[in-house]
Amino acid sequence: MAAQVVVVGSCMTDLVSLTTRLPKAGETVLGHKFFIGFGGKGANQCVQSARLGANTSLICKVGKDSFGNDYVENLKKNGISTGQNVIVIVPGANLLLNFEDLKRASDVICKAKVLVCQLEITPAVSLEALKMARASGVKTLFNPAPALADLDPQFYIYSDIFCCNETEAEILTGIPVGNLEDAEKVGRMLLERGCKLVIVTLGAEGCMMISVEEPIPKHVPAGKVRAVDTTGAGDSFVGALAFYLAYYPKLSMEEMIRKSNCIASVSVQASGTQSSYPYRKDLPQDLF
């Protein structure tokens, strides 16, 4: 069966040290815990979507080293199709994903229901993937992270859903986002640039959504939880949203965002990135 959610993006290995505070310049402090985790925005989003039950595929590059080997095994354990692994011997393998790789994966991209892209790989490659998907009628979900102030304007046009957080929104528009009203200003500006639907994630405050079809902004609040570690919560949200777009397309966008908020809220209640992402079996069934 063809992958319904396809992600073109990055894989990162997280080396995490926990300490009571950050050291000052030239200072050494003691850490009380160290762990290695799996991260990278593309892989995070793909893993969360897969854990909710999506048939997924990740188009990426990893290094030919222990980190790369471990990452491929991690993807397999999460039920993510990796196909034939393209392995290179360089630290920045993510940046070597190129147009030829996309051509080889064109069948996977064009048969998907949803394509997800970010900016941890070469931006031009992400843009080309969005164009390929659009040409085949595949819904495109773009997360402009890490944000670029000089983002190619074509990204706005080829993204069916443009999803950014407060920091990314400010970099893209110059508007600091401190409240819902600021997020609405960002949304309107991004619509003017060619976006069809904009979501600005607001952390514990949930999300703001605005679209060409529904130009009156809507606030979709998040449930109140005790956050332990918010790392990767945005990726959990994007991965969940991709899942709902692919498997529950008749839901309203507001309902998809509400459910995605719930899933991201679960992820912040545990430490780590992918290790905190919930599986479908552990979630309330009214989310499905």
55 is in an annotated binding site: no
With contact defined as beta carbons under 8 Å apart, do 186 and 169 qualify? yes
267 is in an annotated binding site: yes
44 is in an annotated binding site: yes
Q: Which of 207, 133, 122 is nearest to 163 (CA)?
A: 207
77 is in an annotated binding site: no
203 is in an annotated binding site: yes
205 is in an annotated binding site: yes
Residue type, 127: L
Sorted by sequence, the CB contacts under 8 Å of residue 23 that are 6+ apart come out as 29
83 is in an annotated binding site: no
What is 158-184 written as a DSSP string?
A: H-SEEEEEHHHHHHHHS----SHHHHH
Q: Specify whether 182 is catalytic.
A: no
Q: Which residues pair with 200 in a beta bridge?
A: 164, 208
98 is in an annotated binding site: no
**Distance (Å, rounded) from C-alpha 270 to C-alpha 229?**
6
With contact defined as beta carbons under 8 Å apart, do 122 and 100 qualify? no
204 is in an annotated binding site: yes
Sorted by sequence, the CB contacts under 8 Å of residue 190 that are 6+ apart come out as 156, 162, 172, 173, 198
202 is in an annotated binding site: yes
Q: Which of 168, 203, 205 is nearest to 186 (CA)?
A: 168
Q: Which of 101, 160, 182, 235 is catalytic?
A: 235
255 is in an annotated binding site: no
**Distance (Å, rounded) from C-alpha 266 to C-alpha 51?**
13
54 is in an annotated binding site: no
40 is in an annotated binding site: yes
Burial of 141 from C-beta contacts in 10 A (0-12 / 13-18 / 19+): buried
61 is in an annotated binding site: no
252 is in an annotated binding site: no
- 212-225 residues labelled b (16+ CB within 10 A) or e (exposed): eeeeebeebebeee
**Distance (Å, rounded) from C-alpha 164 to C-alpha 150?**
15
Where is the binding site for K(+), in residues? Answer: 229, 231, 267, 270, 272, 276
Where is the binding site for substrate, in residues? Answer: 12-14, 40-44, 120, 235
Please list the active-site residues: 235
Where is the binding site for ATP, in residues? Answer: 165, 201-206, 234-235, 261
Where is the binding site, in residues? Answer: 12-14, 40-44, 120, 165, 201-206, 229, 231, 234-235, 261, 267, 270, 272, 276
